[in-house]
């Protein structure tokens, strides 16, 4: 078993050493490391939701998410996941006026996401983000159990408890193996987020209804910790980061697996409770040009919008913009066509 794990780790290490397809995809300003290709690619992915036909919107969304994963893995240079984006942004802002090209390099991905969110709402979360897509795709596998669980109002469920126990067992065994060969550094701190994720799973298995809304505030704590780390120049790598970097990172790999396993149990669990970057997107979404409008006079209170929303961000047509990922699933599902998408340039 140990030999096979070694073989897998060695394979991943060699795979990630050459993962970027476009080495220095920044040809516009030669040698400046400004990610022009990334800006273009992310800008294009952000415009797709505006252009696709309503009839096949969800299919287009999943295609967009797959392209989003590919762009982050093979093209983007600076983004190091949802933690790294905050760190890079801080670092870039810090360089303005001193090393403007470096500032542009570090700010390009976060600024592109912020600007597109200010224009098109939080569609980055629902249409592009690889961490979000990974959770959504994982959730498809266990929908059979999680959908009835949600419909019943999240009571205690043995199936859900078993999934949480499985995630915890994988985490503990993996940590045991890693600790035999590796000393953990601050850089590996995403493991602590994984520990919190496991604790959250057990709270939510037993008390989802009571604690869901309160625990979502943890995102702010997560954000403050990452900002503090950025100010102190601490490099904390995030889940999924290993897929974007050119170096295999066992701690990031483990936290990615934990995000996936946790999303089997609670849909979009990382986004709901721990993603620090969501604080930034939610702020942009509140001020965005594009938003979803609800016409309460048409509503027949069937509850279908709430049933399809993985984030529990809508109830009988009322959308919580702090939580909404702008996936348009509720819009596409509503039988009474209560929702419309509006662009308000006067904001
Ligand atoms: S909340 Fe965070 S992890 Fe989730 S989709 Fe948005 S940016 Fe990605
Ligand atoms: S799906 Fe439409 S009709 Fe049904 S509760 Fe939601 S907004 Fe109202
Ligand atoms: S409220 Fe609607 S658009 Fe927002 S995340 Fe939920 S289903 Fe998607």
Q: Is 57 a member of any domain?
A: yes
Q: Is the CB of 300 under 6 A from ligand 2?
A: yes
Among 128, 145, 163, residue at a domain's last position: 128
Record the tokens describing residue 297, joined without a space.
């006079």
Specify whether 254 is located in the same domain as 293. Answer: no
Specify whether 291 is located in the same domain as 213. Answer: no
271 alpha carbon to ligand 2 midpoint, in Å?
24
Look up the pTM and report it.
0.90
The single residue listed with the structure tokens 């493991």 is: 191
Specify whether 153 is located in the same domain as 261. Answer: yes
Specify whether 232 is located in the same domain as 202. Answer: yes
Specify whether 218 is located in the same domain as 316. Answer: no
> Helix 100-120 crosses helix 36-51 at what angle (to 10 degrees)?
0
Does the structure show a pLDDT above 70 at 82? yes
Q: Is 22 a member of any domain?
A: yes
Q: Is 1 a member of any domain?
A: no
Specify whether 266 is located in the same domain as 182. Answer: yes
Q: Is 3 a member of any domain?
A: no
Specify whether 71 is located in the same domain as 164. Answer: no
The CATH number for 331's domain is: 3.30.70.20
> How far is Cα of residue 179 from the mean position of the Cα atoms in its chain?
27
Distance CA 135, CA 229 (A): 26
What value, to the nearest 5°, has the Cα angle with vertex 129 and ends 125 and 135?
85
Closest CA to 336 of 291, 314, 304, 313: 304
Among 97, 112, 128, residue at a domain's last position: 128
Q: Is the CB of 304 under 6 A from ligand 2?
A: yes
Q: What local confidence, expressed as pLDDT, does residue 13 receive?
A: 66
Specify whether 178 is located in the same domain as 272. Answer: yes
Atom 4 (ligand 3) nearest CA:
324
Record the tokens describing residue 51, joined without a space.
């252009």
The model's pLDDT over 189-243, given as tens digits with 9 standing for 90+, comes to 788 899 999 999 999 999 999 999 999 999 999 999 999 988 988 877 777 776 6
The answer to whether the beta carbons of residues 124 and 113 sit under 8 Å apart is yes
The single residue listed with the structure tokens 């929702």 is: 339
Q: Rg of the chain's alpha carbons, rounded to an integer?
A: 20
Please choose from 57, 126, 330, 333 the residue to mutate so as to test ligand 3's pocket, defined by most ligand atoms within 8 A of CB: 330
Sign of CA dihedral 214, 133, 237, 142: positive
- Judged by DSSP in three states, 117 sits in helix
Averaged pLDDT for residues 31-43: 73
Q: What local confidence, expressed as pLDDT, does residue 28 receive?
A: 47
- Judged by DSSP in three states, 342 sits in strand
Task: Kindly state the greatest CA–CA separation across the chain.
Answer: 64
- Residue 280: CB atoms within 10 Å: 19
Q: Is 64 a member of any domain?
A: yes
Specify whether 26 is located in the same domain as 72. Answer: yes
The model's pLDDT over 269-321, given as tens digits with 9 standing for 90+, comes to 999 999 999 999 999 999 999 999 999 999 999 999 999 999 999 999 999 99
187, β-bridge pairs:
none
The answer to whether the beta carbons of residues 38 and 71 sit under 8 Å apart is yes
Q: Is 5 a member of any domain?
A: no
Distance CA 38, CA 106 (A): 12
Q: Which of 20-34, 72-86, 204-218 has the lowest mean pLDDT?
A: 20-34
The answer to whether the beta carbons of residues 269 and 200 sit under 8 Å apart is yes
Confidence of residue 247 (pLDDT cuts 50, 70, 90): low
Record the tokens describing residue 172, joined without a space.
């503990």
Among 106, 128, 150, residue at a domain's last position: 128
- Judged by DSSP in three states, 200 sits in helix
Residues with CB under 6 A from ligand 3: 126, 308-309, 311, 313-314, 319, 324-330
Distance CA 189, CA 193 (A): 7
The model's pLDDT over 169-185, given as tens digits with 9 standing for 90+, comes to 999 998 888 877 766 66
Distance CA 120, CA 173 (A): 43
293, β-bridge pairs:
340
Record the tokens describing residue 266, joined without a space.
């609670």
Nearest ligand 2 atom, CA 303: 5
Q: Is 27 a member of any domain?
A: yes
Q: Report CA-CA distances (Å) from 166 to 55, 68, 172, 202.
A: 38, 29, 10, 11
Distance CA 244, CA 177 (A): 24
Specify whether 163 is located in the same domain as 81. Answer: no
Specify whether 122 is located in the same domain as 230. Answer: no
Closest CA to 225 of 216, 214, 234: 234
Does the structure show a pLDDT above 60 at 29? no
The single residue listed with the structure tokens 């093209």 is: 75
Overall domain count for the chain: 3
Range of the domain at 75: 14-128
Q: Is 9 a member of any domain?
A: no
Specify whether 162 is located in the same domain as 231. Answer: yes
319 alpha carbon to ligand 2 midpoint, in Å?
11
């Amino acid at each position: 078993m140990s030999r096979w794990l070694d073989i897998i780790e060695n394979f991943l290490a060699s795979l990630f050493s050459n993962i970027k397809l476009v080495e220095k995809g920044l040809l516009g300003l030669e040698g400046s490391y400004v990610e022009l290709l990334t800006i273009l690619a992310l800008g294009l992915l952000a415009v797709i939701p505006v252009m696709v036909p309503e009839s096949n919107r969800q299919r287009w969304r999943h295609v967009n998410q797959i392209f989003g994963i590919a762009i982050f893995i093979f093209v983007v240079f600076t983004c190091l996941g949802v933690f790294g984006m905050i760190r890079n942004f801080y670092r870039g802002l810090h360089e303005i006026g001193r090393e403007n090209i470096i500032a542009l390099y570090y700010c390009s991905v976060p600024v592109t996401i912020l600007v597109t969110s200010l224009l098109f709402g939080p569609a980055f979360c629902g249409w592009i983000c690889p961490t979000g897509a990974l959770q959504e795709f994982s959730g498809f596998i266990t929908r059979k159990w999680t959908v009835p669980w949600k419909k019943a109002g999240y009571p205690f469920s043995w199936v859900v408890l078993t999934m949480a126990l499985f995630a915890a067992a994988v985490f503990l065994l993996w940590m045991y193996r890693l600790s035999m060969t590796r000393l953990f550094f601050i850089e590996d701190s995403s493991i602590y987020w994984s520990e919190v994720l496991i604790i959250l799973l057990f709270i939510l298995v037993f008390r989802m209804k009571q604690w869901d809304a309160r625990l979502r505030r943890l995102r702010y704590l997560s954000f403050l910790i990452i900002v503090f780390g950025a100010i102190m120049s601490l490099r904390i790598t995030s889940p999924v980061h290993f897929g974007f970097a050119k170096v295999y990172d066992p701690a990031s790999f483990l936290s990615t697996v934990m995000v996936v396993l946790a999303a089997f149990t609670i849909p979009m669990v990382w986004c709901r409770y721990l993603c620090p970057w969501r604080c930034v997107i939610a702020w942009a979404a509140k001020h965005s040009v594009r938003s979803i409008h609800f016409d309460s006079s048409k509503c027949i209170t069937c509850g279908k919008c709430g049933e399809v929303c993985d984030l529990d961000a809508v109830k009988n047509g009322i959308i919580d913009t702090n939580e909404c990922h702008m996936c348009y699933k509720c819009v596409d599902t509503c039988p009474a066509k209560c929702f419309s998408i509006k662009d308000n340039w006067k904001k």
